[in-house]
Structures are given as structure tokens and as C-alpha cells.
Structure 1
Amino acid sequence: MESTAEQARKTAAIAEGDLTTVITVRSEFDVMGKALTDLVAKFQDLAASIVTSADQVDVGAKQVADSSTALSQGATEQASSVEELSASMEEITSQTTLNAENAKKTNALAADIQKDANSGNAQMAEMLRAMDEINTSSVSISKIIKVIDDIAFQTNILALNAAVEAARAGSAGKGFAVVAEEVRNLAGKSAQAAKETTEMIETSMKKVNAGTNIAKETASALGKIVEGVSQAGELVGAIATATNEQAAALEQINQGIVQISQVVQSNAASAEESAAASEELSAQADSLKDYVSVFKLNQNSDVRVEETNPAGDQIRNASVQTASSKAAMPLAGSGVGKY
């Protein structure tokens, strides 16, 4: 039977952290022996649970640290990609804005061209009206020339008649015959001049008609140009409007990318902080295992407890289950179980 001194020695060993110490319960009434046996068993359970939990915390913390590091690296790469995308979007937005300004200038230029074309078309219409008036006047002049030609013809007939009568009068009609001859010559010249004038007027009318046809064709072409310029102006205006809308949309997209960049950078910072916190948690778990390492645990699956009667005979062998053969004790608020 163990003496009180032996129990005191074993108690001192337990106090030094040797949880492999076997306490012999001397009898059913050995309260101290039973209490020490229960204390050793509970200490072994507690120490084993702490070690198991610390291992789980260490593994989980390292996993979180690795994941956080990977997340941080990914977020950093995303931030770099977002920055490149943001720079590209800014360049596209700048180019689109420049295109909108150029489209606006082109629209204004098209409006000026349309205005000039309309003015030219109006002037062409005035010229056509003037040429029509010239044509009308030429017809009137032709009629007048025809009258003059008729008068010259009649004058020539009268001069011939006067010459015949003068010849009949003999010497008395010589002077009258001279006058009649002169009148006849003048009538001939008038007829010749009228003929030449008529030919000139006809030539002029042909040229005027040709010019009128050309002017009409030019006016028609100019009208088509005006219509085309008008349509081009409308298209350019629509392009300018669409480009302005695109520029506004790109600006909104750019702002969204900036916000995404801020969120990604924030996530990267949070991931780095999480990784640092996980590393600190892993270090704390290692420290906890170092603290528990001062205890010497039983390498067997259970702690043997011998119980004897007052005569020193062994009455039973009891097995106290240790942490090595049962689940780890969960630590309240630790959150270890989720790993």
C-alpha cells in the first residue's frame, strides 16, 4: 500500500506536469487517491483537448492564411487589371469625346454648306428666270425684225414702182428716179440688216436655249446636292448625338470601374489583414502548444488506475479514458469546430 508520503511525491510530480503518474487508490475510503486520480484524468483530457484544438486552430489558421494570401495576390492582380482597364476606358472616353466634338463641328460645317447650297440654288433659279426673260425678249425682237423686214420689202416694191413711173415720165422723172433708186438701196440695206440681225438673234436664242438647258441640269444637280447635304447634316447630327450619349455612357462605365478598383483594393487590403491575423492566430496556437508541452502525457490510450483494499490486495483495475481515445473538448467561443 502506498504511503501518504508516496502520494505526496506523486502529487508533486503531477504538479510538475507529469500526467503519466499513476495514483494507487488504497481503499474505497481513500478520498485523496480518488480525487488525485480524477484530477490526473481530467488534466490529461484537458491537455489533450487543448493540444488537439491548438492543432486544429493552427491548421485552420494556416489554411485561412494561405487562402487570404492567394486572395490578396488575386486581388492585387485584379487591381492591376482594373487599373489597366480604367486607363484604356479613359483613353476610349477621351477619343469618343473628341469624336463627338469633331462630329459637332462637322454638323456645323454641313449646315453652312447646306446654307450656301440653298443660296446657290436660289441664284440658279434667278438665272433661269432671267434666261427665260431673255428668250422671251429675243422672240419679241425677232417679231420686230420681221416687221422691219416686211417694211423694207414693201419699201423696195414701192421704189421699183416709183422707178417705173419715173421712166415713163421721161426727162421730167429723172430726179424722181434717182430718189427712188436711193430708197430702193436703203430698203435693200434694211432688209439685209434685218436678215443679219435675225440670224444673230436666232444664234443667240440657240445659245440661250442651250444655256437654259445646262442651267436647268445644273439646278437639278445642285438640288440633289442640297438634298444630299441636308441628309448628310441629319446623319452627322445623329452621329453627334449618339457619340455624346456614348461618351456619357463611357464616363459612367469609367466611374464604375473606378469604384470596382476601390473595392478590389479594399478587398486586397482586407485579405492582407486577414492573412496577418491568421498568421498571428497560428503563432498563438503554437504558443499554446508550447505552454501545454510542459505536461507529460500518457502515451497509452488510457491511464491505468490501481485500486486495492486495506489488506493491500488489488481489488480492481479501472481505466480512465484519455484525450488520445476520445474527441477533443470544444473550447467555448473558439470557433475551432468549423475547421
Structure 2
Amino acid sequence: AGEQGRGFAVVASEVRSLAGRSAEAAREVKALISASVENVEAGTALVDRAGQTMQEIVQSVQRVSGIIEEITASTAEQSRDMQQVNAAVGELEQMTQQNAALVEESAAAAGAMSEQAAVLERLVGRFRLADTRPVQLARLTAG
């Protein structure tokens, strides 16, 4: 039994050593699994935060897009208004030119009428009435 006992003791020692190493490996695996679970949970939290951030970005982009549409509509409206203002200014310029031409014509007509009135006064001044005084145009028009 001595030789067999020693063989059994060697086998038992190896089994104990193997059991210790297995227990240590199991603890390491458990630690690795725990670390992996923590990493997965942290990764999940990061993904959740990234998802929320992406939603916020999408909402911001939608708001900016809406603002851009409003700006585009306002710009188009302002452009139409400016075209109307330009057309009105063009019409005013044309009317101003017409008025200036009419003023020139009126001034010329007034000058011509003044000359004709002077000629008429000279001609009427040649006539003598019964009292032999020259007729004054101013008296004729006042009377």
C-alpha cells in the first residue's frame, strides 16, 4: 500500500492543485464577467445619451430648417415689396419729369401771354376815347 498510497497522495495533491487553479480561474472569469457587465452597462448608458443627443440635434436641425424657411419666405416677400417700390419710384420719376415739362410749358406760355399782353396794351393805347386820354389796359380790366 506504500507505493499506491504515495501515488494516491501525488494524484490527490495534483487534484488539489488543479482545484485551486480552477477556483482561481473561476474567480478571474467571474471578475472578467463582472467587468464586462459594467462595461456593457456603461456602453448602454453612453448609447442612450448619444441617442438623446441625436434626438436633440434632429430637433435643432428641424427648428433651424423652419427658421430658414421663414427667412426665405420673408426674403421673397421683401423682394416683391422692393420691386413694387422700384416700380412706384419709376412712376414718380416719370410723373416728376412730366410735371417739369408741364411747368416749362406753363412758364413758356406765361411768357408768351405776357408778351402778347404788352403788345395788346401798346395797341389799345393808340386808341383815343372821347376825352382824348390813352386807354390803360389796367383800367379796362378793372372796370
Q: Tell me what 2:136 maps to.
A: none
Q: Tell me what 1:256 maps to.
A: 88
After superposition, where does 1:154-303 map in structure 2 within 5 Å? 169-297=1-129, 298=131
State the SS of the aligned residue for 1:295.
coil
User: Deviation at 1:230?
Assistant: 0.8
User: Deviation at 1:326?
Assistant: 10
Q: Which amino acid aligns with 1:240?
A: T
Listed one character per residue, the Cα deviations across residues 96-132 of structure 1 (whole Å, up to 9, x for unaligned) are xxxxxxxxxxxxxxxxxxxxxxxxxxxxxxxxxxxxx
Task: Label 1:293 to 1:325 Cα distance change in 2 as closer, same or farther (>3 A).
Answer: closer
What are the ranges of 5 or more consecutive residues in structure 2 without an aligned counterpart?
134-138
Q: Distance in 1 between matches of 2:48 and 2:142?
A: 107
Q: Which amino acid aligns with 1:220?
A: Q
Listed one character per residue, the Cα deviations across residues 175-232 of structure 1 (whole Å, up to 9, x for unaligned) are 1321221122122112101201211221232132123213212221221111111121
Provide TM-score, normalisation by structure 2.
0.83
Q: Which amino acid aligns with 2:46?
A: I
- Name the % identity: 39
Q: Distance in 2 between matches of 1:326 and 1:279?
A: 19
Q: Distance in 1 between matches of 2:141 and 2:109?
A: 31
More strand per residue: 1
User: Deviation at 1:246?
Assistant: 1.5
State the SS of the aligned residue for 1:290.
helix
User: Deviation at 1:170?
Assistant: 4.1
Q: Distance in 2 between matches of 1:185 and 1:171?
A: 21
More helix per residue: 2
Q: Distance in 2 between matches of 1:290 and 1:266?
A: 36
What are the ranges of 5 or more consecutive residues in structure 1 without an aligned counterpart?
1-168, 301-323, 329-339
Provide TM-score, normalisation by structure 1.
0.37
User: Deviation at 1:254?
Assistant: 0.7
User: Deviation at 1:252?
Assistant: 1.9
Aligned length: 137
Q: Distance in 2 between matches of 1:204 and 1:223?
A: 28
Between Structure 1 and Structure 2, whose CA radius of gyration is higher? Answer: 1
After superposition, where does 1:1-339 map in structure 2 within 5 Å? 169-297=1-129, 298=131
Q: CA RMSD in A?
A: 2.3
